[in-house]
Chain A
Amino acid sequence: MDNMQQQFIEAGTLMLAGMVFVFVFLSMLIIFINTVLAKLAIKFPDPIVASSSRANKKSKSHSKPHGDFSPAVVAAISGAVKRYRSQHGQDK
């Protein structure tokens, strides 16, 4: 019976240590995302031109010359497309 009590105490310690560690570890990750990654995102934003040229490569319909669309319209559309893709491409 003493042995069981001992095991319960060990399991309790393990539970406490484990949960605290998991929370601390993932909280540190939150800090990492909010500081390092957020700064990087501001410093190196995804260039819109690059993403639209990537889109050009992928789909043939985009490879046509832009014709009479103004560059601002093209930039806005490609930005929206990129955002749509980043949001809808995650459940693959």
Chain B
Amino acid sequence: MTLDPHLVPLQLGGETLMLDGRGAVWWPERSTLIVADLHLAKAEAFAAQGRFLPPYDSRATLARLVELINAHRPDHVVSLGDGFHRRDGYDRLDAADRQQLDALGLVTRWTWLSGNHDPDAPNGHGASAPELQLGRLHLRHLPTPHPGQAEIAGHLHPKAALRVRGRRLARPCFVTDGQRLLLPALGTFTGGLDVWAPAIAGLFAGPFDVLLCGRDGRLRQLPGSRLEGARRVKVRQGGT
């Protein structure tokens, strides 16, 4: 095994995955790269409403994808849904960005799972599916409350904050309890939901681990109890 500083191994439902601090899952045994919530062409969607956000978000997101694909050379890339911010996102992409995405479609096989923003995969761009079973794992956009088997999901854009020397640091993160793995959003203009929000914390019956993606692309692993907001949740639970 290589000593890639970006990677941290994880056992999930009996499969061995590598979490990549740049915001993706690398599954060596199946040569599969898993990414979530790319939200391509999001700035365009805002521009249509009169807010001219810099039209470089897709470019930046694609650059991250290129880096990940170059690093792992996957045979298969799975997008866990919300690959595009809008259903017609592919057509709204800038011509250069569209070419870039087309090129990525030529170097590897793609599966686009349906998200709530983009129920359909872009035309002629690999397969699309509502969900996907790979090995002992179930891949889907929306996490299920009581999955029968281990799952990998997106949708929630998890983010965690901690306090170090008086400074509050918030970063996108992976969340897992060994049975479920939530991916951070890879898209450039994607906000995050704090891991203590009921939508995330409520998914896990027991303790869970959080792996923060540093700006340097490396992961920092912390138990949930160490994060900001942990005590707040306890106070509330104790009170009711």
**Real complex partners, A and B?**
no
Seen from chain A, the residues whose Cβ lies within 8 Å of a Cβ on chain B are: none
